[in-house]
Amino acid sequence: MTQTVSSGDTPKGMSRREFLHLAWAVAGGAAALTTGALGLSFFAPRIVEGKFGSVFDLGAVDSFPLGSVTPITNGRFYLVRQQDGGFLALYHKCTHLGCAVPWNPEKGQFICPCHASAFESTGQVINPPAPRPLDRFPITLVEGQVKVDTGIRIERDRTSISDVVYP
């Protein structure tokens, strides 16, 4: 090592000057990275899941008639009660570009006002451009009470009978 330093231009190894250059460059890079990471985390979302991240207690199972679609505006979702009694909680955000999708009772479809995507009451896409069914939230039925956890948003490529919760 002492030889390298004294000769300064040995093909292998590094002179003290080169080493210091590199060390400063690395320190500079590390400073830039740290500042960048600090900046990014500073600007990171403060609320992890919007206002609606909590569990919604919607009351008794029987208060939702068969074949009904009930908008829960604070929770940003629809509670769907199918004809066979099963429950689904569908996020109201269109999977295409995020518009709020209203329920159209005459047609029995969710029809997006932005780009005319249409969904069945199960969330299944009838009309593109929406690329996948409406996202859903998990439902638990505890002692005849319907509870929806809006903290867990479930994306799905296709609808399935296992999405439906039965009392």
Minimal distance in Å, beta carbon 91 to another protein? 10
Closest CA to 58 of 45, 68, 72: 72
- Interface pick for another protein out of 69, 81, 96, 139 (rule CB under 8 A): 96
Q: How many other C-beta atoms lie within 10 A of the C-beta of residue 133?
A: 21
Binding marks (x or -) toward another protein, 53..92, rule CB under 8 A?
------------------x-x--x---------------x
Closest CA to 163 of 143, 125, 134, 129: 134
The interface region with another protein, picked from 12-20, 114-122, 140-148, 158-166 by CB under 8 A, is: 114-122
**Alpha-helix runs per DSSP H in the chain:** 2-7, 16-43
Residue keyed to tokens 């439902």: 139
* 156 binds another protein per the rule CB under 8 A: no
Q: How is residue 139 annotated by DSSP? A: E
| Interface positions with another protein (CB under 8 A) | 40, 43-51, 71, 73, 76, 92-93, 96-102, 111-116, 128-129, 131, 153
